[in-house]
Amino acid sequence: MIELIPAIDLINGKCVRLSQGDYHTQKVYNENPVEVAKALEAHGIRRLHVVDLDGAASHHVVNHRTLHALSTQTSLVIDFGGGVKSDEDLQIAFDNGAQMVTGGSIAVKDPERFCSWLKRYGAERIILGADVKERRIAVSGWKEESNCDLFPFLDNYIKRGVGQVICTDISRDGMLQGPSLELYGEVLRQHPKLHLIASGGVGSMNDIGELQRAGVPAVIFGKALYEGRITLEQLEQFIIHS
């Protein structure tokens, strides 16, 4: 069964979504992210992807109080990303209840630090973020495009011990037009044992079903849920029958 991982993206402590990472497109869906998380948990969800968009833009963790509230008021497993750029940021995330932390920009800009985290905490707790635009890695809240091509980037870090990768196709993120099945298929053909977490483009339960049939281990989705294209009841039924 594919693992279902709803996303809560945070700006000013509120649950928002962007389109293609553009901060000017932000739409607030709920001013109380804990309320959203509790509803998800009540319908069988066990894991949550929390993104500190303020942190991604300002290069340090900002919404740690909201992370703490989510972790203490639910029993969801939380993976956290956005603004984790230093050892202090990482410690703040773990101290406030994140069980896993995703590093994207840091893996491009400071690979030795990222690898030190991987060595210290293990592949179960440190996730590689691979956000791609035309198969190149984007960083700093997707505001910058790096010179790193996706596949050499993945090859390098998998050799260094990475076991989980969140791969987001930025062109599809928030667009509700379907995930990048071809891209994920290519990644899994090259790295069949990788715990690949697909992100971006999911617009319906049918999209999730297609990812499952393609052998993708896990999927992150957000906007489809908040726009009512995926319901809590559908998620619960999917979990029960998978």
Question: Using alpha carbons only, how large is the chain's radius of gyration in Å?
Answer: 16
169 is catalytic: no
Provide, for the chain, the percentages of residues in helix, strand and coil under a 3-state DSSP scheme, each rounded to the nearest 5: 40, 30, 30
CA–CA separation, 202 and 240 (whole Å)? 20
- Tokens for 167? 């791969």
Burial class (CB in 10 A: 0-12, 13-18, 19+), 206: exposed
CB of 102 within 8 A of CB of 90?
no
Q: Considering 131, 169, 173, 207, which one is annotated as catalytic?
A: 131
Active site residues: 9, 131
